[in-house]
Copies of this chain bind each other. A is one copy, B any other.
């Protein structure tokens, strides 16, 4: 194993020289690659074009009325049914909204702030409201908390999910803890899948706060790179067995199945929560875009077909993830200071180099490769170890990926050797 800090002065100087000239050569190419966000590539977006091509021939008159007209605030029956099957819950436990699951989560929290949860005190009226934030995690979750002045408590992400000893102890003892973020499958950015034990312990949490809610953001529910091999335990199955289903808000969206931000997003929760939320939504919106829901149901058809569609996405994404793994292994396979995730799904790879993330992201940026700002994967953008870099390999072409990884590799080497 190489340990950069243990090399001789001469070895370091030579390697630094090599890395610097490799870096300068790459930089001089003037290529720009944006890997900041988990966006689908153009090639992936083409997969859903038949949905638009056939839009004129779908049947917009549903059992609930005419989807082109007002009505059905919880979404069309067929869409609720489809998302229920996808999340393995009942149709009556699902509301189908417009395209953004971020918007659903934001609204759920804003409802809680303004009106309280199921008769509880509005969170706006409490001295403190806290959320547990497994980290590294999804920056947009954390920014919702910042927006509302919700205090974030960082919980370490372990190999099989958040540190559940810590979660149980905090949630069970502090009634100002009102929520917790989770991306339980192919987690953003580490790619891990919560183990059955973690899912079970999550569903069996005994929160001190009655209005505590788990935001189970299942953004990558069918986003495996290797088929449907990684099975996430159904949290509602456990929750229903212990009567905790009011505690769970599960979110999914088609942003990475059809069109990013122009798809359909859905919430699964208890029937009692659904009824309560529909009363709130009444004041806000007559119905979601049901024409888009008809189009999505007609195109996606059923869970089996969604999996077929997702295997086309996987075929496009997998080579990019594998290229990353190959090149990083070749460069740092024997180096104990550079760690990276080997995700089997989702949209991100997580790279960890303690004390060097900011410098690496900055170097890469100067050479034309934009990564998400270092620290973004932590609450308050504070990565105590300055370690985590989030890589989003979906947008670049294979050639761009080659270039970007080369830039990353030389940037990592420079950062390790210059210090």
Cβ of A200 under 8 Å from chain B: no
Contact of A55 among B56, B124, B147 (CB under 8 A): B56
Q: Which residues of B contact A71 (CB under 8 A)?
A: 261
Stretch of A36-44, A202-210, A308-316 contacting B (4+ beta carbons < 8 Å)? A36-44
Closest to A125 in B: B124
| A290 proximal to B (CB < 8 A) | yes
Copies of this protein, total: 2
Q: Which residue from B113, B148, B289 sits with its C-beta under 8 Å from A289? A: B289
Asked if A285 meets B100 with Cβ closer than 8 Å, knowing A68-B262, A124-B124, the reply is yes
Among the listed B66, B259, B287, which residue makes an inter-chain contact with A45, where contact means beta carbons less than 8 Å apart?
Answer: B66
From A102-110, A166-174, A175-183, A350-358, the one touching the partner chain is A102-110
| A284:B102 contact, CB within 8 angstroms | yes
Interface flag for A291 (CB, 8 Å): yes
Closest residue on chain B to residue A40 by CB atoms: B69
Residues of B within 8 A of A124 (CB): 114, 124
Q: Is A162 an interface residue (CB 8 A)?
A: no
Q: Do the beta carbons of A260 and B54 come within 8 Å of each other?
A: no
**Chain B residues within an 8 Å CB radius of A288:** 99, 261
Q: Which of B50, B68, B283 contacts A260 (CB 8 A)?
A: B68
Interface size, A (range): 35 or more
Interchain CB contact under 8 A, B283 and A147: yes
A71 to B147, CA, bound (A): 20
Q: Say which residue of B42, B114, B147 sits within 8 Å of A66 (CB atoms).
A: B42
Residues facing B in A17-76 (CB within 8 A) are 37, 39-40, 42, 45, 48-50, 52-58, 66-71
Judging by beta carbons under 8 Å apart, are A260 and B98 in contact? no
- CB of A323 within 8 Å of the partner chain: no
Contact call B110/A69, Cβ cutoff below 8 A: no
6 new A-B contacts, CB < 8 A, other than A39-B69, A48-B68, A102-B284, are A42-B66, A71-B261, A102-B285, A113-B114, A143-B282, A262-B291
21 A-B pairs in the complex with CB atoms less than 8 angstroms apart: A39-B69, A39-B70, A40-B69, A48-B68, A52-B56, A52-B58, A54-B56, A55-B55, A68-B262, A69-B259, A70-B255, A98-B98, A102-B285, A103-B284, A106-B284, A114-B114, A144-B283, A147-B283, A259-B291, A289-B289, A292-B292
In the complex, the 6 A-B pairs of residues with the closest C-beta atoms, listed nearest first: A53-B56, A262-B291, A55-B55, A147-B283, A52-B55, A68-B259
